[in-house]
Structure 1
């Protein structure tokens, strides 16, 4: 996004902010926006305006040692609590088993590998570096959902939405968007 803003003559500073409070801060105007978040945030955070060009997409995967099991079949499940995709999915697809929330992917994978939980619901690019080990251990993967990620700006910067959309579409058409996705493994 810094390249898109730079093309518009705008210098941006990325602020490292507590993930749990970043959306609230952006909605209140303390932050100018959110770099990349899933769609549908404007229902909960009405002051955020989505740039309608997806930055990238990801898969939400169910991983377990069970070959033909579905999410409702799992007696226990672990999710990564600091990213909303899994929790949002569970709101739309109610889960009746025991739910554990952890703050790191390594803890999530350790619980699964030690068979302390039946399954994990995790974003694909977080487990990609571990896929070979997981497959060798007999872990099965099922993609449950694919999700686009968008840039959001606070309503005070709504006037930037058309220009940012145009720049991002140019990046997409020229292949720059794909180059950046590959560079950052998205």
Structure 2
């Protein structure tokens, strides 16, 4: 995924807001947590470019290990189940679910090491052949980019389709 992580985080956050309606959290905070969580695994790009000098596929970094995000999401869900009025627990859960969503979406056409650190084997549903330079042109001209555009359109329509009462502050 190149452009659909933030929109997917928005869709995730808006779709789960009704499930945490009892938590003392604003809808804007939930949306922010969903978007940040959906982008969080790619924060490793700074290390990738500035320190690692692009020597290691950034999906091999711990920030892209599904076990990390699944463990954090499970811990956050447990925390939220015991502290349903905790703003931090609710936002932590949404953020971690955004991280899980990120690695799941990256698995569509990008290698993800689903069993890291135990097995050094990447998995992807589809492969994008390296046909063009620069590398990102191969992704944009591949059929899978239509899925990214569909996610972006879905997020846009979700945002426009609401008269934004869901994005107003919600306090008990």
Which of these two proteins has the greater Rg computed from alpha carbons?
1
The structure whose RCO (Cα within 8 Å, separation 6+) is larger is 1
- Give the structure with the higher percent strand: 1
- Give the structure with the higher percent helix: 2
TM-score, normalized by length of structure 2? 0.25
